Amino acid sequence: MEKQTMNHLSVDDVKQMLLYVGENITASKDYLGEIDAEIGDGDHGTGMATGAEAFTKKLQESEFETVNDVFKTTGMEMMKSMGGASGIIFGTMFSDGVKQLESKSSIDHTGLSEIFRGSLDSVKKRGKADVGDKTMIDALDPAVQSLEADSSKELTLAVVLKHAEEAAWNGVEETKQITAKHGRAKTLGDRTKGYQDAGATSVWLIFKSMREWVEQHEG
């Protein structure tokens, strides 16, 4: 059967896409750990992999009726399994974006934009961080702005996610020029310059993985 351009994601599509995200996070454990070890505790990769393995297991054994439930479950499993600040922040990224959203059985790129706007607002509030603080916000904020800029355009979902991925990576690159203001890295001051933020890198990896999954499932 010929594959078609994918512009809407069903509940199962979202589930399979996030399972793919989980696989990529787990496979990137060492990469994320090495980045974090430069200016942090070095445990970010292990923490993200733990969260990914937990939500992957839960998604695989569960059936969902709404897109909202898939995102919420993903986030809650990360919070429960990871612990610490990363668990709260990345759990919030997945779970809080759907809180104010009406139940949906499918989403397009506008829906994704709404979800991640809610995520960004919640993460900023909960983490008390903003752009320029050398955190995952430095990648998530530009990715969300890219999604919103594309939400009214007639673009394929893959293209929209590619733009968000590129915006997130540009944010990762920007973190190399920033002095850390949060976490253990904060104590290192200007020594944190020249190194990218591990949390921002994880955000980029998430958007990259979503884009790859969509591309693999369209013609």
CATH of the domain at 140: 1.25.40.340
Number of domains in the chain: 1
The answer as to whether 46 is a domain residue is yes
The answer as to whether 1 is a domain residue is no
Instruction: Report the 10 Å Cβ neighbour count for 137.
Output: 26
Q: What's the number of CA atoms in the CB half-sphere (13 Å) around residue 218?
A: 17
The answer as to whether 185 is a domain residue is yes
Q: What's the number of CA atoms in the CB half-sphere (13 Å) around residue 131?
A: 14
The answer as to whether 69 is a domain residue is yes
- Nearest partner of 177 among 158, 153, 196, judged by Cα: 196
- Report the range of poorest mean pLDDT among 79-93, 133-147, 191-205: 191-205
Whole-number Cα distances in Å, 205 to 23, 55, 154, 202: 11, 16, 25, 5
Instruction: Name the more confident of 183 and 77.
Output: 77
Helix (H), strand (E), coil (C) string for the chain: CCCCCCCCEEHHHHHHHHHHHHHHHHHCHHHHHHHHHHHCCCCHHHHHHHHHHHHHHHHHCCCCCCHHHHHHHHHHHHHHHHCHHHHHHHHHHHHHHHCCCCCCCEECHHHHHHHHHHHHHHHHHHHCCCCCCCCCHHHHHHHHHHHHHHCCCCCCHHHHHHHHHHHHHHHHHHHCCCCCCCCHHHHHHHHHCCCCCHHHHHHHHHHHHHHHHHHHCCC
Residue 78 structural domain: 9-216
pLDDT at residue 205, rounded to an integer: 98
pLDDT confidence tier of residue 186, bands split at 50, 70 and 90:
low
This prediction has a pTM of 0.94
Are residues 11 and 18 in contact, defined by beta-carbon separation less than 8 angstroms? no
The answer as to whether 3 is a domain residue is no
pLDDT confidence tier of residue 84, bands split at 50, 70 and 90:
confident
Name 9's bridge partners.
107
- Report the range of poorest mean pLDDT among 95-99, 152-156, 181-185: 181-185
Are residues 90 and 82 in contact, defined by beta-carbon separation less than 8 angstroms? yes
d(CA 215, CA 1): 16
pLDDT confidence tier of residue 76, bands split at 50, 70 and 90:
very high
d(CA 218, CA 146): 22
The answer as to whether 71 is a domain residue is yes
pLDDT at residue 182, rounded to an integer: 65
